[in-house]
Structure 1
């Protein structure tokens, strides 16, 4: 039987790993514990590629090599395993994982994705490559809300792929948009990857979420820009929608106003309030339509007013009215400290009789104490008065730019608000905005310090529960299935973390970490060379391994080196999160390709999906380069909020 190309590739990688480990062991004069640690690392990679469960492979290898390092002392080996497992169990950050996963499964079962895709592709009907752009936006929003790559790719494969194929899109373009968009949930918060990296590297998950927001949006924007450019350059790859496909049907009562799709909606609705020809249309219906029309402008005004109050609030200045020691003032002239008399200077007291009180000393002491007490009662001593300046601070530049863009969007909305666009806006209100509000509520509470990631995850789980109820998809069966899948996923992640802790402890005990550090430092790399080397290694690891395995196995190796090269662990984590998109997009071991192939028509081959993925993989590399050249893309928001 002829062996498949994917199997040849997998066995070739495994052979390369094994041969490298053997060559390393044969090249040294004496095999130390450090070399055993590298052998353990190689065997773990090969075992995972053979299909063994990652968590239990890590635990098993860790236990075996720890037993060898402790010279076959079973008691100490078991003690190390228990300590490593207990350390993972007491990590509070991991509590957020099951809650975010539960939120994702509930949102997935609320069946929002079909409405979201339909409303997005109608809203972007005039954009080149509108179906692919709508697919990317839908995937980005839905992947952010769920964080489950397989579910997003599968659902969009069932929904968007047939639609794009019927519209004449090339198979690689359609497949690439679905697989790339579905992977955005790995990076854009709330992301389980960032929680695992934060727990592994000891970096604040809150700052990671703030830092990953703009790189995630940048990557999604680059994907959309690529689709639009290719749709303009190669119209055969992504043909424009026909007039029939862009047609929006109006509700019966709107047609009875009478109204048509191209008519300007605000003016016609205001006229209908006092007109006589629309007697069959209830006034309440017209008022509800007008309320929808007014809603964007009202939200813009409320948001601008509330944020203006926040960004321009006066700075609290504390004023302490303390009299400096030694300064002359009316309040300290009689009782303050004074220089001794010049003439005679300091003199010894008379010997006879010792120290004696001068005549009238008692009243003088009383007067001094009274004066001192009156001074101590002033606000200058123990109590400081805080005064607030009345002048407000000027609004920062980012506020003006942001609200100028929002204001322009509002203006365009009202200038071109036909009845067709009003219907599309209503569709977005029922599909797009609920998810965006849920995401912004969860992220906002984390980023602005209103809640910890765990508390925000609990809020998100409640929000997913309410969304499923609002769309009448909540049932006992849905809840049971969501709880079961959440328990299954959380158990996998948490066992993986326990296995990683045992493996890392064994690797450090054997001295493998020290050996790698000595090897890297012996190359005398600069900071740039180290960053390039680390990202290339992570990129290559994304071929045979998934992101979870790369985080828990290889990040503990890289992180101790960051301090030597002066690399911020937060910035390194953002680069890694961008890079680990390749774990789902790099052929031939690209999981998203297999998810899509499982639901695609038989005419769509795996090679076509791989070809469609390659340009998006190149865009990922471009995004990594942009983030490295301009670190403020990821660091500006954390520095602004947590400086």
Structure 2
């Protein structure tokens, strides 16, 4: 009976979040309230709470998570210093003379910006402010422009190096060790954030390629919806000055991880320093702007870590009520074994993506279901990429997708909400196709990490 209290607690948290209460304090407050009630009712062992200080200290002292504020700092600098805007302008001059060229520029720049920020809302808002007016002035169909920007903004879930993969990799690593200990493997293997970065490369680039192919096909079938740009080509020197520095920065950050020369945390430090130097070289950095960047970085970082602390309290109380054993029993009795259980988890995560951000799902849901699925023999890298792609699709799906709301907030009133909804449908289909391909061919995520590990 006590185990079902954990499900009630989970439902109360979801309801409170839908009502708009702060995520971190909702997670911790609800869990502590249920724990207090359970102690009074004699159905919760207070000894579970004694493990809380050690768990919180271990969370805050986790060196892997140092990459989070560094990647945030890097992304905010690229945005505030107009480096991203200049990159978009330069890329548009490269591809803009072709049909659909401006849309391709938006996808490529959005991919780079999404990789550096890793936060869906920041990328969609930035690309909406920078790209949407240009695409509409250039004669692009409102539905195509809105769909391209929304879909591009969600690429931060899967394109490395991204904050989403950093957080997911850390959680999956802990879940993988728990799963092995539950199978009496006392020298457990680990999965690193770098492994997840490498595993995400092929699915992420495949997704970007299919986006571009769809845009080219749309422009070929309906030329009036994606006309060529009218701007004259940039001089070669100006073109290189806008394109090469940010591309080189992201290549160094990602390349150092793939080559094994740096950990994700070290690469994040290089990226943050490189972005700062790049902004200074372009004379786009002042003390006032640096202060703004630091404040934005601190705000987002504090949000992430407060949610992490709240999730740690929630998961501890959830386990204390026996919720983990209840979920484990449910999944082991499902037909289809590990794949059947994975299908159910993916459906649940997809629906939760309508009301929870990736941070909450990563810290609340994945620690509960991850050890169970991994104990069934699933590959942790494959599972991580599946979860990231699944959440990316959820954030894009009407009527509750986060990316749609973010674009609606910065789009002009002349762009109807229905046009935004219609515009994302083809991109949702593309993401579902990539998700299905990853389900059928897990090697899309696991082959490259295995090769680089040799």
Distance 1:440 1:98 in 2: 19
Partner of 1:135: 106
Partner of 1:235: 223
Q: 1:169 aligns with which of 140, 155, 158?
A: 140
**Which stretches in structure 2 are left out of the alignment for 5+ residues?**
174-190
Partner of 1:122: 93
Does 1:221 find its partner at 2:209?
yes
Look up the SS of the partner of 1:544 in the other structure.
coil
**Which stretches in structure 1 are left out of the alignment for 5+ residues?**
1-31, 250-422
Does 1:33 find its partner at 2:2?
yes
Does 1:81 find its partner at 2:52?
yes
Can you list the C-alpha shifts for 1:141-162, whole angstroms capped at 9, x where unaligned?
Answer: 2222333433332232223212
Matched ranges for 1:546-557 at <5 A: 546-557=357-368
Partner of 2:161: 190
Q: 2:430 aligns with which of 615, 619, 628?
A: 619
Residues 148 and 185 of structure 1 are in contact (CA less than 8 Å); yes or no, is this contact kept in structure 2? yes
Distance 2:197 2:233 in 1: 38
Matched ranges for 1:380-459 at <5 A: 423=235, 425-459=236-270
Q: 2:172 aligns with which of 198, 201, 209?
A: 201
Residues 545 and 583 of structure 1 are in contact (CA less than 8 Å); yes or no, is this contact kept in structure 2? no
What RMSD, in angstroms, separates the aligned Cα atoms of the two structures?
2.0
Can you list the C-alpha shifts for 1:487-522, whole angstroms capped at 9, x where unaligned?
Answer: 111111111111111111111111111111111212
TM-score normalised per structure 2: 0.91
Can you list the C-alpha shifts for 1:140-191, whole angstroms capped at 9, x where unaligned?
Answer: 1222233343333223222321222122211110001111112212211111
Distance 1:165 1:611 in 2: 16
Q: Answer 1 or 2: which has greater helix percent.
A: 2
Give the ranges of 4+ consecutive aligned residues of structure 1 lying more than 4 Å apart after TM superposition: 71-78
Q: Which moved more, 1:128-137 or 1:150-159?
A: 150-159
Distance 2:445 2:246 in 1: 24
Q: 2:199 aligns with which of 211, 217, 227?
A: 211
Distance 1:142 1:598 in 2: 19
Look up the SS of the partner of 1:514 in the other structure.
helix
Residues 139 and 156 of structure 1 are in contact (CA less than 8 Å); yes or no, is this contact kept in structure 2? yes
Partner of 1:333: none
Instruction: Tell me the matched-pair count.
Output: 435
Partner of 2:326: 515
Partner of 2:188: none
Distance 1:217 1:158 in 2: 25
**For residues 74 and 566 of structure 1, do their structure 2 counterparts lie closer, same or farther at Cα, with a shift above 3 Å needed?**
closer
Distance 1:504 1:216 in 2: 30
Matched ranges for 1:128-527 at <5 A: 128-202=99-173, 203-241=191-229, 245-248=230-233, 423=235, 425-527=236-338
What is the CA-CA distance between 1:126 and the residue it aligns to? 4.4
What is the CA-CA distance between 1:527 and the residue it aligns to? 3.4
What is the CA-CA distance between 1:58 and the residue it aligns to? 0.9
Distance 1:428 1:529 in 2: 51
Does 1:106 find its partner at 2:91?
no
What is the CA-CA distance between 1:204 and the residue it aligns to? 0.8
Distance 1:248 1:563 in 2: 52
TM-score normalised per structure 1: 0.65
Residues 102 and 461 of structure 1 are in contact (CA less than 8 Å); yes or no, is this contact kept in structure 2? yes
Can you list the C-alpha shifts for 1:295-314, whole angstroms capped at 9, x where unaligned?
Answer: xxxxxxxxxxxxxxxxxxxx
Look up the SS of the partner of 1:580 in the other structure.
helix
Distance 2:291 2:322 in 1: 46
Look up the SS of the partner of 1:581 in the other structure.
helix
Residues 6 and 322 of structure 2 are in contact (CA less than 8 Å); yes or no, is this contact kept in structure 1? yes
Partner of 2:353: 542
Can you list the C-alpha shifts for 1:33-72, whole angstroms capped at 9, x where unaligned?
Answer: 1000010111111111111111111111221222344446
**For residues 64 and 81 of structure 1, do their structure 2 counterparts lie closer, same or farther at Cα, with a shift above 3 Å needed?**
farther
Distance 1:104 1:114 in 2: 13
Residues 149 and 185 of structure 1 are in contact (CA less than 8 Å); yes or no, is this contact kept in structure 2? yes
> Which structure would you say has the larger Rg?
1
Distance 2:410 2:294 in 1: 25
Distance 1:55 1:527 in 2: 31
Q: 1:580 aligns with which of 391, 402, 407?
A: 391
Look up the SS of the partner of 1:133 in the other structure.
helix
